[in-house]
């Protein structure tokens, strides 16, 4: 049984805990609470509270915690055990080596989405400026990451939610990318000028079917916005909406890239084939699951 933090013997200046022992304590507490990633959650909470990265933990991890740091760790531990995800506790999430602010109004970026980033970087033409659009941008993680990785890119980021766009704008400011990105509010192509053309269309749209929504874990249902998750009866509503006008907004030889659910590659590929897209391919994430679908502007399209 784990002894509560505020009931432990205090041999040090305040808590009797240093950063390393706090991490061990939280790991044990999270394991007993049945959390799947106990050690990772403990590390993130302790590092955030102490301001120590992994290297500093090795060098300074034996220093006793200051009172305010101890209290922060204790509060964060209690929130995590109650079911709140670490990224919502901290207010940010690491994605492709950068920190993105998140809130209840945006989907927290997942590591699987980096599959879409890798695919985009392989396909972007580095020889000339590229204009991108990130439909349903949320925190801005996809579009802003590509701006940061490729200096000759510009971006239009759209979202139905004004609150989500506020988060994305904040991330653009933090990453010093605000001069290369514009934001527009509205559903899918309704937010985009009729004459706008792009070299790459990107989206991680809501793709969870109504039935699958009923089986989601509470950490997802309670903290990620329904607007960013629910994809309709078969999970493909958003893809259909985007495909309905994608050709008219994509430059010749431009690319269309979607994140998908692990079991949606065949269904989305069929939609693209019916719509006569070229060079359709599926990328897998690091876990071996289908995660991104790519297609190129049809040569036959006018």
What are the residues facing 259 on neighbouring strands? 292
- pLDDT score for 16: 67
Average pLDDT, the chain: 89
Confidence of residue 214 (pLDDT cuts 50, 70, 90): confident
Confidence of residue 9 (pLDDT cuts 50, 70, 90): very low
Confidence of residue 199 (pLDDT cuts 50, 70, 90): very high
Q: Taking 60 as the threshold, does the pLDDT of residue 3 lie above it?
A: no
Confidence of residue 4 (pLDDT cuts 50, 70, 90): low
Task: Judge contact between 204 and 116, C-beta under 8 A.
Answer: yes
Q: Taking 70 as the threshold, does the pLDDT of residue 11 lie above it?
A: no
Q: Taking 80 as the threshold, does the pLDDT of residue 2 lie above it?
A: no
- For residues 27 and 37, what is the distance between their CA atoms, to the nearest angstrom? 9
| Domains, the chain, with CATH or none | 5-90 (1.10.8.10), 97-296 (3.40.50.150)
- pLDDT score for 164: 96
The residues, any chain, with a CB within 8 Å of residue 177's CB and separated by 6 or more, are: 144, 147, 148
18/84: higher pLDDT: 84
Q: If we measure between CA atoms, which residue out of 122, 144, 149, 148 comes closest to residue 133?
A: 144
Give the rounded percent of residues in the chain with a pLDDT score beyond 70. 93
- pLDDT score for 299: 65
85/14: higher pLDDT: 85
What DSSP designation does 279 have?
A: E
Q: Taking 70 as the threshold, does the pLDDT of residue 29 lie above it?
A: yes
- Over residues 82-108, mean pLDDT: 93
- pLDDT score for 227: 76
* Range with top average pLDDT, 9-23, 41-55, 209-223: 41-55
pLDDT for 132-164, tens place per residue?
999 999 999 999 999 999 999 999 999 999 999
Phi and psi angles of residue 282, each rounded to the nearest 5 degrees, phi first: -125, 130
Confidence of residue 231 (pLDDT cuts 50, 70, 90): confident
- Range with the lowest mean pLDDT among 18-22, 35-39, 100-104, 223-227? 223-227
Phi and psi angles of residue 96, each rounded to the nearest 5 degrees, phi first: 50, 45
pLDDT for 126-139, tens place per residue?
889 999 999 999 99
Q: Taking 60 as the threshold, does the pLDDT of residue 12 lie above it?
A: no
Task: Judge contact between 40 and 94, C-beta under 8 A.
Answer: no
- Over residues 55-67, mean pLDDT: 78
217/34: higher pLDDT: 34
- Over residues 280-285, mean pLDDT: 96
- pLDDT score for 54: 77
């Amino acid at each position: 049984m784990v002894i509560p933090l505020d009931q432990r013997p205090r041999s040090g200046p305040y808590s009797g805990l240093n950063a390393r022992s706090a991490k061990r304590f939280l790991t044990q507490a999270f394991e007993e609470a049945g959390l799947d990633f106990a050690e990772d959650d403990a590390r993130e909470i302790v590092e955030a509270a102490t301001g120590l990265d992994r290297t500093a933990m090795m060098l300074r991890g034996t220093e006793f915690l200051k009172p305010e740091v101890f209290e922060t760790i204790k509060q964060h531990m209690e929130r995590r055990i109650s079911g709140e995800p670490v990224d919502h506790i901290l207010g940010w999430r690491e994605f492709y080596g950068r920190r993105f602010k998140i809130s209840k109004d945006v989907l927290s970026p997942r590591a699987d989405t980096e599959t879409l980033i890798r695919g985009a970087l392989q396909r972007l033409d580095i020889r000339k400026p590229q204009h991108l659009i990130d439909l349903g941008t949320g925190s801005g993680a996809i579009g802003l990451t590509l701006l940061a990785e490729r200096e000759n890119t510009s971006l239009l980021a759209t979202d139905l939610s004004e609150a989500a766009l506020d988060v994305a704008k904040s991330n653009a400011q933090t990453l010093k990318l605000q001069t290369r990105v514009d934001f527009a509010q509205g559903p899918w192509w309704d937010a985009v000028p009729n004459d706008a053309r792009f070299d790459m269309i990107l989206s991680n749209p809501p793709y969870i079917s109504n039935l699958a929504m009923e089986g989601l874990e509470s950490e997802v249902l309670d903290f990620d916005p329904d607007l960013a998750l629910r994809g309709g009866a078969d999970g493909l509503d958003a893809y259909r909406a985007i495909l309905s006008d994608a050709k008219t907004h994509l430059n010749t030889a431009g690319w269309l890239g979607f994140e998908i659910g692990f079991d949606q590659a065949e269904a989305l590929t069929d939609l693209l084939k019916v719509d006569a897209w070229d060079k359709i391919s599926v990328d897998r994430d690091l876990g071996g699951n289908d995660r991104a679908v790519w297609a190129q502007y049809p040569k036959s399209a006018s």
